[in-house]
Amino acid sequence: GIHGQYLFVDRTHGIVVAKVSSQALPLDGERIALTMRAVSQIQRFLG
């Protein structure tokens, strides 16, 4: 969604990450970058 909701699916490793949030700005580049880094770390840890 445009206010911070994301669903990441890694079929190769069987990992699904759902982020449910409500941020003030519809698109916030800094928060998007933080989210992408966090998901990358989760994938690395679990994969």
pLDDT tens track for 17-28: 999 999 899 999
In a domain, 1, yes or no: no
In a domain, 42, yes or no: yes
In a domain, 14, yes or no: yes
Q: Give the span between the Cα atoms of 31 and 6, in whole angstroms.
A: 12
In a domain, 23, yes or no: yes
In a domain, 31, yes or no: yes
Q: Give the span between the Cα atoms of 13 and 3, in whole angstroms.
A: 27
Share of the chain above pLDDT 70, in %: 100
Q: Give the span between the Cα atoms of 36 and 26, in whole angstroms.
A: 16
Residue-range definition of the domain harbouring residue 28: 6-46
pLDDT tens track for 1-47: 889 999 999 999 999 999 999 989 999 999 999 999 999 999 999 98
- Measured in degrees and rounded to the nearest 5, phi and psi for residue 7 equal -135, 115
Which pLDDT does position 8 carry in this prediction? Answer: 97
**Domain total in the chain:** 1
